[in-house]
Amino acid sequence: MVDQTHGEPWADDKRFRNPFWMPMLRALGIRYRPPNNMRHTYATMLLMAGATPAYAAKQMGHSVEMFLNVYSKWLDDGQGDTEQA
C-alpha cells in the first residue's frame, strides 16, 4: 500500500490501521483482522481461481520460493478437495 500523502510505502501500518482500517471494518460490521490478511486473501483467491504459483508470486512481489513457503498450504488443501469430488 502507498501513503497517498507522500507517495511512499506505509512505514508503519498504524498510520493506515487506526484512521482507515479499523473504522471501515466497524462500519461494515466485520470483526477485526489485521490489514496483512488482505494479502493472504488475495493469494488464496488467485490460487483458487487457478492462477499458477509463478503468476501469483509475481502479482504479490514475491519469488516463487517465497510464495510457496508462505501460501503452499492452500495448494495442498485445494488438491484434497479435488480428490474427494
Distances (CA, A) of 59 to 3, 18, 63, 64, 70: 20, 27, 10, 11, 14
The contacts of residue 82 (CB under 8 Å, 6+ apart) are none
Calpha distance 38→84 (Å, rounded): 29
pLDDT digits (tens, 9 = 90+) for 5-15: 666 666 677 77
First to last CA, the chain: 38
27-66 pLDDT, tens digit each: 999 999 888 888 889 998 998 899 999 999 999 999 999 9
Answer yes or no: pTM beyond 0.75: no
